[in-house]
Structure 1
Amino acid sequence: MVSIKDVAKKAGVSISTVSYALNGSDKVTDKTTAKIMAIANELNYVPNAAARSLKRQQTRNVGIFLTDFGGNFYGDLLQGVKEDLKQKGYALVVCSGTQSHRMLPERMIDGAIILDETFSNEELLKHADRGHKLVVLDRELNHPNINQVLLDNKAGAALAMEYLLEQGHDKIYAVSGPPGSYDSMRRLHAVRTIVERNKHLEYSEIAGDFDKPGGEAAAKQIAEEYARPVAVFCLNDEMAIGLYNYITTNTSLVIGEHIHLVGFDNIELTRYVQPRLATIDYSMRKWGALASEQLLKMLSGEPVDHERIYVSLVKGASVNPL
């Protein structure tokens, strides 16, 4: 492999002069820069990015850590992060799995956005203690090097439940997400608070997994127990779509007549199901962009406050008055 020493030797200049030329420094004349660039191209010289990053103490890379890439959830979130980073001259590295965690201590990235339950709180706090800048989207941690950009899960779940109650529903199922999900736990906590205030409700919880099979499994249970119209709050839209699929394919029950359904996330697919799914809306792209903006502020030493992404209710014909 051709090194910077080889370029310097053939050009008859010092290594530092080659470095200045390759980085566009005005410390080298245009004539010398042109000569060095020509020789570098002739030798097929490729700069060692790892060495350059070590010298500069930055990579201009930001990592986003995700539990997985499945479903329709992550596209707009990643696009929001990517667009903001690109404007600021940073590249996005998308990571998943415990093996990717080493990118932080090995400083292969300058900072990280976390939406990944495979990170424990203790692990993230250790990284923060070592000076790593982090933005978390899926937990509450207090540390000077950690910023929170969280969904208003409590308000979203309350909007969904109140919408069902306003339509006169008194038998309600909640289909939860995976046990380790922060968003699922916060939404479920809000649901239970409302149930406690409405003693007349007939309420049941079904364990889901934030995916279509989880919604289908919940639909099977609901159909088997069906005796009268019921309301269902799926804690994300992926499960709501799975519930739709099972009910319409395997039963004579009708969404919006026998099963009254609300989801959460307002993913694009919900706009095409009939009847239109009632759901909780927020901007995933804004969520990603704000997380990126907060992280870059931290990397530049600017002060930041914790942020919250607000939500709204999208009404749909999947819910009707009793």
Structure 2
Amino acid sequence: MVGIKDVAKLAGVSVSTVSNVLNNKKNVSDETREKIIKICKELSYQPNAAGKSLKSGKNDTILFNFSDFDRSFYLKIINGISDYVNNNDFDLIICTDKSCEKYMNNSLTGGSIILDKKMQDDTLIRIASENYPIVVLDRIMNNPYIKSVVVNNYDPMFEMIQGVIDRGYRSFGFVGGPEETADNKERYRAFRDALEVNHIQFLQKSYFAGNYREKSGYNAAKILMLSRELPDCLVCANDNMAIGAMKAFQENGIRVPEDIAVTGFDNCDLAEAMGLTTVSIPNYERGYIAARYLIENIRGQRNVETFKISAKIIFRSSVGIKK
């Protein structure tokens, strides 16, 4: 692989002189500049992302940060991001957890899309700037350099629970995700509001804390089965937990929906096969929109107003008609 040292050696100049030419600095003679450019073309030498960003003043690489390989919807989001990035001649870096922070500077990337609850708000506020815009997918932030692209969790959750109530269900359990996440808070609030509007009491003992993974839904269902009486319906804050709960019920001879109905949220790949009633989130579009807004902000088209994505309810066999 040809490097900047090879170019410098053939041109008979220092590496810093080659760098100055690539960065379009004026402190190099026209003769030397032309010589270096000619050698770069002959060797098909391309500067790295950092070099290109210094030359143009803008970095054409963006970063996507997420934290959980266990959830299949990430792949759809990545596909959406990748398609928009490729169509606009940008490059994409994907990383997870704490390792991403070292890439969040303008010498390496021009901006970031963040979907990681472990990345603290104060860290994002410290990093975001006019020259380094950020798009967040998992929270709403009021910052002049941070754009929030979030799912409208409240309306479809409320409507789904209303639909379940309209089908005759009157007692409920709830399996929540990580309690600090905005998604879980909004979904749980919609669930409680729908019950309240219909004058249905909800006991806190019927709330089970999960972590959005299948095993936590499985464990919640196992605990629920220890009680004397099952609720009419178990509402889960995402599909993975709902699928875990359905597997636990099936192992113990409890029928869905005859003995207990189950709902999820996300419409993951297994939801249709399991007959799971859920809310479908357009994750490919979510990634595509996030990439579009980030690149527009990198290019100076400032837009940091919160964008809410609509989701739709899909009723399947996991909810029937309660007699």
TM bucket, shorter chain: 0.7 to 0.9
Task: Give the Å deviation of 1:59.
Answer: 3.0
Q: Measure the CA separation in 1 of the matches of 2:48 and 2:320.
A: 62
Partner of 1:252: 253
Equivalent pairs: percent with the same residue?
26
Q: Measure the CA separation in 1 of the matches of 2:201 and 2:19.
A: 75
Tell me if structure 2 keeps the 8 A contact 1:168–1:321: yes
Structure 2 residue ranges without an equivalent (≥5): 24-29
Q: Measure the CA separation in 1 of the matches of 2:189 and 2:49.
A: 47
Question: TM-score, normalized by length of structure 1?
Answer: 0.85
Matches within 5 A, 1:32-43: 36=39, 40=43
Q: Measure the CA separation in 2 of the matches of 1:206 and 1:145.
A: 37
Tell me if structure 1 keeps the 8 A contact 2:7–2:36: no
Partner of 1:23: none
Matches within 5 A, 1:1-322: 2-9=5-12, 15=18, 36=39, 40=43, 47-105=47-105, 107-129=107-129, 131-203=131-203, 204-228=206-230, 230-249=232-251, 251-273=252-274, 276-304=275-303, 305-322=305-322
| RMSD, aligned α-carbons | 2.8
Question: TM-score, normalized by length of structure 2?
Answer: 0.85
Tell me if structure 2 keeps the 8 A contact 1:7–1:39: no
Task: Give the Å deviation of 1:261.
Answer: 0.8
State the Cα deviation string for residues 95-123 of structure 1 (Å, max 9, x = none). Answer: 21113212113642100111111122122
Tell me if structure 1 keeps the 8 A contact 2:78–2:284: yes
Q: Measure the CA separation in 1 of the matches of 2:72 and 2:42.
A: 48
Tell me if structure 2 keeps the 8 A contact 1:215–1:243: yes
State the Cα deviation string for residues 122-178 of structure 1 (Å, max 9, x = none). Answer: 221122246420111111111221111110011122122112111111110111001
Evaluate the alpha carbon distance shift between residue 68 and residue 106 of structure 1 in structure 2; reply closer, same or farther with a 3 A threshold. farther
Task: Give the Å deviation of 1:71.
Answer: 2.2
Tell me if structure 2 keeps the 8 A contact 1:62–1:92: yes
Task: Give the Å deviation of 1:63.
Answer: 0.7
Evaluate the alpha carbon distance shift between residue 188 and residue 229 of structure 1 in structure 2; reply closer, same or farther with a 3 A threshold. closer
> Secondary structure in 2 aligned to 1:112?
strand
Aligned length: 305
Tell me if structure 1 keeps the 8 A contact 2:173–2:231: no
Evaluate the alpha carbon distance shift between residue 108 and residue 15 of structure 1 in structure 2; reply closer, same or farther with a 3 A threshold. closer
> Secondary structure in 2 aligned to 1:253?
coil
Structure 1 residue ranges without an equivalent (≥5): 21-26
Q: Measure the CA separation in 2 of the matches of 1:145 and 1:120.
A: 16
Partner of 1:24: none
